[in-house]
Amino acid sequence: MKQLVDILRDSHHLNANGYAALLSAPEGDATAYLRQQAQQVAVDSFGHGIFVRGLVEVTNVCRNDCLYCGIRRSNTHVERYTLTHDQVMQSCEAGYRLGFSTFVLQGGELPRDKAQWIEQLVADIKASWPECAITLSLGEWSYEVYKRWLEAGADRYLLRHETHNPAHYAMLHPANMSQQNRLQCLEALKELGYQVGTGIMVGSPGQTVDHLVEDIQYIERLKPHMIGLGPFVPHHDTPLAHHPTGSADLTTRLYAIFRLMFPKALIPSTTALNSIHPEGRLMGIRAGANVVMPNLSPAAVRDRYSLYDGKASTHAEAAEGINQLEQQLAPIGYHIDWGRGDAPNFCKNNSHNMNNL
Ligand code: SAH
């Protein structure tokens, strides 16, 4: 098994059986070696700096109905909100003062006539803090809308593909949502020249090792700049409420596999991981993650952006708790890197120039 780790580290690739073997091995020396090699590769790429991104949860309104998600359209128990333009600007301002140089605007999928509102927001954030990067994570929109947002100043886009297996996708989404559309969105974002992030929930209901191998192979082909993975965590008001929480160990094992595949990719140690395990943040970093995304949303709305039960949004998970994050990182020899942390060798007009990833 350790040999497989060495091959993956040196060639950044395994065949399907190799990935399946790494995913199904019991926890032990080999998986410890996998994480340790991944951490070393991340240190070789980025040193001991961890990039931070300030997350602004702009809305919990959503036109989609994903079966796993707490803010799905059919959940009538959600008290819906959309931040005002000023509230988003104030959140970014607060983040800027704390030292953030990337703002991530995330939310449910707003009605289509809100595209203009987002465009204005992006333009105003860019005008106010031109040196900062803007990441959007607002779901599925048309090529034209993505283009307008890019031209307004957006730099990056996070859109997890969630699962590459069509039958599994159909288990997690209503019939009127199309996997093909989601994959086309990712193609459009790449073609336009965004720095693109994709990923999955680990342990989502019905997920098998074969599905994970398909996901790995899809990500291998897409070559995203960012790879976002968190455990599935049930939300009590969804049809998947009774499915078990995904495994923290498998999540960090996947961080390590992706780190060895893509030494320079941006891989966050996610809030979902930190929400299910008190040491989640550090476990992610010890498996090769190099980004964390503290919450910059106004405190009053944080509880309402509830994608899953028990979501952490205070202390080191909150932007105002940034000192606590520093204090968590220091004992393991890491520090916050306040830089923009763009994917290396990124060239805005040449989305195919990613050979170094
Ligand atoms: N609406 C946007 C962004 C918000 S959701 C979109 O669909 O891209 C952001 C991510 O949260 C999703 O991609 C999904 O992977 C994750 N998520 C949603 N529900 C979750 C749950 N119950 N457990 C863990 N992660 C969840």
Predicted confidence (pLDDT) per residue in 23-78, tens digit: 999 999 999 999 999 999 999 999 999 999 999 999 999 999 999 999 999 999 99
Which pLDDT score is estimated for 343?
82
Residue 97 has pLDDT above 80, yes or no: yes
Residue 179 has pLDDT above 90, yes or no: yes
Residue 142 C-alpha to ligand 1 middle, in angstroms? Answer: 19
Residue 323 has pLDDT above 50, yes or no: yes
pLDDT band with cut points at 50, 70 and 90 for residue 345: low
pLDDT band with cut points at 50, 70 and 90 for residue 346: very low
Q: Which residue's CA is the closest to the ligand 1 atom numbered 8?
A: 139
Residue 353 has pLDDT above 70, yes or no: no
Pocket test for ligand 1, best of 157, 201, 271, 309 (most atoms within 8 A of CB): 201
Output the 3-class SS for the chain: CHHHHHHHHHHCCCCHHHHHHHHHCCCCHHHHHHHHHHHHHHHHHHCCEEEECEEEEEECCCCCCCCCCCCCCCCCCCCCCECCHHHHHHHHHHHHHHCCCEEEEEECCCCHHHHHHHHHHHHHHHHHCCCCEEEEECCCCCHHHHHHHHHHCCCEEECCCECCCHHHHHHHCCCCCCHHHHHHHHHHHHHHCCEEEEEEEECCCCCCHHHHHHHHHHHHHHCCCEEEEEECCCCCCCCCCCCCCCCHHHHHHHHHHHHHHCCCCECECCHHHHHHCCCHHHHHHCCCCCEECCECCCHHHHCCCCCCCCCCCCHHHEHHHHHHHHHHHHHHCCEEECCCCCCCCCCCCCCCCCCCC
Whole-model pTM over 0.85: yes
pLDDT band with cut points at 50, 70 and 90 for residue 350: very low
Residue 347 has pLDDT above 70, yes or no: no
Instruction: Calculate mean pLDDT across residues 225-243.
Output: 98
Over residues 251-284, the pLDDT tens digits come to: 999 999 999 999 999 999 999 999 999 999 999 9
* Ligand 1, CB within 6 Å, residue ranges: 68-69, 106, 108-109, 137, 139, 159-160, 162, 201, 230, 232-233, 235, 272, 307-308
Q: Does domain 2-355 have CATH number 3.20.20.70?
A: yes
Pocket test for ligand 1, best of 182, 219, 307, 311 (most atoms within 8 A of CB): 307
Which pLDDT score is estimated for 318?
82
Instruction: Calculate mean pLDDT across residues 340-347.
Output: 72
* Average pLDDT over the chain, rounded to an integer: 94
Residue 127 has pLDDT above 70, yes or no: yes
Pocket test for ligand 1, best of 65, 66, 68, 69 (most atoms within 8 A of CB): 69
Residue 210 has pLDDT above 80, yes or no: yes
Residue 245 C-alpha to ligand 1 middle, in angstroms? Answer: 14
Instruction: Calculate mean pLDDT across residues 138-161.
Output: 98
Ligand 1, closest atom to CA 138? 2
